[in-house]
Each structure stands twice: as C-alpha cells, then as structure tokens.
Amino acid sequence: MLFHVRMDVAIPHDLDPDVRAETVAREKARALEVQRAGKWPHIWRVVGQYSNISIFDVESNAELHEILGSLPLFPYMTITVAPLTTHPSDLAVQ
C-alpha cells in the first residue's frame, strides 16, 4: 500500500552541533535500514530545499506511522502524508 510523504527539515540553528551531526548520521542510517526492508522504495531531494519527497510501501497506516516516528529527525520535520492508489491511466494496469 503506497503513501506519498513529504518531509521538510528545520533543525533549530542553536542545536548543539554535535547533537546535530549525530542526529543527521542516525537519520541516514535509519533511512537506509527502512529502504533495505523494502518499505521506502523512493526518496528524492527537492531542489533548493532541505526536503525530500518519498514513496512508502507499507502494510498499514500504523506501520507507516511507526516508521516515520522512528526517524531521528522526526522532531524537527514537518511531514505531510497522502494515501495513494493505482491510477486508471497507469500503463502497468492496462
């Protein structure tokens, strides 16, 4: 089941630099882990912004929330979620 997720990151400028670096590193590790599990098939950078647009493929709403909440940058992100479904004009379903 696919979801469109946009994450806009805004780390407070006065966050301790070590905490910041460590959090960003853990974020990347966790992101790779979720991708390896096949749950996060697409992640793109939005040009000019500290943001990503992603597609998640999960079993349920609960699983999606668990994944997003497990991201170390979660407290510093504005996240919007849109449930997706197959488009009738998708070549794959003709």
User: Where along the sequence are the contacts to a second copy (CB under 8 A)?
Assistant: 1-5, 12-15, 27-28, 31-32, 35-36, 42-50, 52-53, 55, 60-62, 64-65, 68, 75-76, 79-91, 94
User: How far is 39 from 1, CA to CA, in rounded Å?
Assistant: 10
Give the residue with the Cβ less far from a second copy, 21 or 65. Answer: 65
| Block residue for tokens 């040009």 | 47
> What does the angle CA 8 – CA 14 – CA 20 come to, to the nearest 5 degrees?
60
Task: Report helix, strand or coil for 14.
Answer: coil
H or E element that contains 66: helix 61-69
